[in-house]
Structure 1
Amino acid sequence: MAISLSKGQKVDLTKTNPGLSKVIVGLGWDTNKYDGGNDFDLDASVFCTNGAGKVNSEKDFIFYNNSQNENGSIVHTGDNRTGEGEGDDEAVKVDLSAVPADVEKIAFCITIHDADARGQNFGQVSNAFVRIVNEATNEEVIRFDLGEDFSVETAVTVGELYRHNGEWKFNAIGSGYKDGLAGLCRDYGLNIA
């Protein structure tokens, strides 16, 4: 049975699930009906950071146009432009045993594409979640439902996998950004034009 987390809660992943190495991180959301007439396109992205919380290079920023890290241990499975339907809208496969040693944290984020131009924000998004699934058994291990805490934000760091004493843990973050992807990139040490 999956562990359901609250914002700020941290939980062991590999210690409580011995032998777990390959996981799927599923991200999902729904958009409210009254959205101003523009389509919503939410995107999942991943920042692989060092102990200081910064990426070492652009290759450590994984999204629909850079679908995997250098050694292929973290793979974005593709862009969903509508968010229609049940279940995960976008997913990232992670082979925990193969993640490079210099990656201490793997942060999972959701941004709204062209949010400013379309007048959109996370106040118009509901039922957002992140879940971790054991790839071998398809069993949901951890789930974090973000709730309705956002109003003007256009990007959210939903959670992160991080190393602690040789084991992987998950931290339910749920932290929003008003300045979207640019704010995320700035905080994770990536310069974007």
Structure 2
Amino acid sequence: MAINLQKGQRIEIGLQKVGVGLGWDPNQSTGYDFDLDASAFMLDADHKLPEDEFFVFYNNLVSPDGAVESSGDDLTGGNSDGDDETISVDLDKVDPRIQEILFTVTIHEAVQRRQNFGQVHNSFIRIYNAITNEEIAKYELDEDFSTETAVEFGRLYKRNGGWKFEAMGYGCKGGLQALVDKYVR
């Protein structure tokens, strides 16, 4: 049975292959579609990317170690009834320099389109067993992010030789660029 995660909650993963799914409903109001983007920042002990290629997103679909792979970009949120974008992680392949994998969601062109997460409906990020597709945990976006355009949803991190997941829920304005500025050397 899946856990519905709360901000700050941590769980043991105990898996080799993990999937991270992002889903949301298409914009039903007038205006632009919501283009949410799932990304992964693979961080070293200094909480920075060891190399730019360890940032996996719609313009860099696979990490250099082959451990993290993005499904690509869904521009509207209307391509499925479940996950609209996914990130697959093979923890056995993760470069030894990597201490955590941070999962983020941003709204593409949020400022130009005058959009924020408070306008997005039924958005979630979920963690699942990538081999069996069994959902382990789900984190639902709620009213906490009414003005934000970027959210650090959660992270996989190394602890005592194993991997754990933490639901973070840190929102910020500035979209993807704000996160890149924070994690690129």
Query: Please, what TM-score do these two structures have when normalized by structure 1?
Result: 0.90
**Segment drifting more, 40-49 vs 24-33:** 24-33
Deviations along 1:26-58, one digit per CA (max 9) or x if unpaired, are 111235533x51222111111000122111111
Write the mapping of 1:1-193 to structure 2, written as runs, cut at 5 A: 1-14=1-14, 20-34=15-29, 36-84=30-78, 85-189=80-184
> Structure 1 residues 32 and 80, CA, compared in 2 at 3 Å: closer, same or farther?
closer
* Contact 2:32 2:113 survives alignment (8 Å): yes
Deviations along 1:82-139, one digit per CA (max 9) or x if unpaired, are 1014111100110011111111110111111111111111111132211111122111
Which aligned segments of 4 or more residues in structure 1 are displaced greater than 6 angstroms? none
Task: Give SS of 2:151's match.
Answer: strand
* Contact 2:123 2:141 survives alignment (8 Å): yes
Tell me, in whole angstroms, the C-alpha distance in 1 between the residues paired with 2:144 and 2:25. Answer: 15
CA RMSD of aligned residues (A): 1.4
Task: Give SS of 2:24's match.
Answer: strand
Deviations along 1:53-97, one digit per CA (max 9) or x if unpaired, are 111111011111100100211100111111014111100110011
Q: Tell me the amino acid that sits aligned with residue 115 of structure 1.
A: A
Query: Please, what TM-score do these two structures have when normalized by structure 2?
Result: 0.94
Gapped regions of structure 2 (runs ≥ 5): none
* Contact 2:5 2:139 survives alignment (8 Å): yes
Gapped regions of structure 1 (runs ≥ 5): 15-19
- Number of equivalenced pairs: 184
Tell me, in whole angstroms, the C-alpha distance in 1 between the residues paired with 2:114 and 2:60. Answer: 26
Q: Tell me the amino acid that sits aligned with residue 90 of structure 2.
A: D
Q: Tell me the amino acid that sits aligned with residue 130 of structure 1.
A: I
